[in-house]
Amino acid sequence: MQTIVTESVAVAATWINRGEVVAFPTETVYGLGADSTNDKAIENIFSAKGRPPDNPLIIHVHSPEQIWEVSEKIPHTAETFIHHFFPGPLTLILKKNPAVSPLVTAGLLTVGVRCPIHPVARAFLKQCNHPVAAPSANISGRPSSTDWKAVYDDLQGKIRCVLKGPQSTIGLESTIVDCSETPPRLLRAGAISLETLRKHVPETRALTDNEKQQRPKSPGLKYPHYSPSARIKLCGSGYPDYKGEKNSAWIGLSSPPEGISKISVCKDPEEYAYKLFSFFRECDRENIEVILCEMPPAEGIGLAIRDRLKRAAEE
């Protein structure tokens, strides 16, 4: 299949409306979209990514009003989050409409919904006839794509179209909050921190260790993730001391030890998040063997970075 790269929102939306798979930019990471009402198109997302079929997709809407097409049950807590954070880098888990295909939700009775704030994403979603189901636009297990070239490297020849936009400004996937149960629970850390969510809905809480083990609430959490080919070693704040190794790279907030060949020192945690996945991909292109990653402080978006780093380091 020939993959078309376009800057035209209208062209990309036309492909979606014809049942094709199209990658598009959002403020978090690029998404790999298809018409959420078209089962064949949804199957093609799973096969293009090599994604296990029991890992559900998030549905993207162009406005909070469009949520009604996928869920009729919006609890008060969700209304509060929608009011404060939609559009933005937040996904809410809600009870799903019977009309939403079980292929999208991997058979769950809940559905993830997000309304991106990225202007290209919103314009694109407005021109699509139905809400758009989309996971991150990477081969399963690889770092998420934060620019169109990363999407193209992973998925060229497997999808119909890439809607080209700027690099994703946040660089990490959305915060996920499960509002289908009381109290709401944080399933995935992101740019909107638990602390910020609690300012509006104070009872929101993280999953307990028990809950994490009993039922994988976010099925994706059990799969390996975010991994470049290079080995990831975590450094600093409670992790072992680091030393330079042959063909190694460093990303963090402070200066690296001696003897590192490729270095990215970020000025703050926001820049760290923005650069992380593209740095992983650059390291792979340059055949780096070990990436030393400094753990940022455990607050704000630092918590989301730490989560991604820990999972990337899992063997």
User: Which residues in this chain contact ligand TXA in the complex, by CB under 6 A?
Assistant: 26, 28-29, 31, 55-58, 91, 93, 105, 108, 110-112, 114, 134-136, 173-174, 176, 187, 217-221
Question: Which CB, 151 or 292, lies closer to ligand TXA?
Answer: 151
Smallest gap from Cβ 265 to ligand TXA, in A, equals 26
Smallest gap from Cβ 143 to ligand TXA, in A, equals 11
When CB distances are held under 5 to 8 angstroms depending on the partner's kind, the choice from ligand TXA, Mg ion, none that residue 57 binds is ligand TXA
Question: Which CB, 55 or 204, lies closer to ligand TXA?
Answer: 55
Question: Which CB, 191 or 253, lies closer to ligand TXA?
Answer: 191
Smallest gap from Cβ 50 to Mg ion, in A, equals 12
Return d(Cα 223, Cα 102) in angstroms, integer: 20
Question: Which CB, 147 or 173, lies closer to ligand TXA?
Answer: 173
Question: Which CB, 31 or 256, lies closer to ligand TXA?
Answer: 31
Three-class HEC string of the chain: CCCEEECCHHHHHHHHHCCCCEEECCCCCCEEEEECCCHHHHHHHHHHHCCCCCCCCEEECCCHHHHHHCCCECCHHHHHHHHHHCCCCEEEEEECCCCCCHHHHCCCCEEEEECCCCHHHHHHHHHCCCCEEECECCCCCCCCCCCHHHHHHHHCCCCCEEECCCCCCCCCCCEEEECCCCCCEEEECCCCCHHHHHHHCCCCEECCHHHHHHCCCCHHHHCCCCCCCCEEEEECCCCCCCCCCCCEEEEECCCCCCCCCEEEECCCHHHHHHHHHHHHHHHHHCCCCEEEEECCCCCCHHHHHHHHHHHHHCC
Smallest gap from Cβ 276 to Mg ion, in A, equals 14
One of 136, 174, 180, 264 touching Mg ion (CB under 5 A):
136
When asked if residue 91 is in the footprint of Mg ion (CB under 5 A), the reply is no
Question: Which CB, 56 or 131, lies closer to ligand TXA?
Answer: 56
Smallest gap from Cβ 274 to Mg ion, in A, equals 17
Smallest gap from Cβ 109 to ligand TXA, in A, equals 8
When CB distances are held under 5 to 8 angstroms depending on the partner's kind, the choice from ligand TXA, Mg ion, none that residue 218 binds is ligand TXA
Residues that bind Mg ion (CB under 5 A): 136
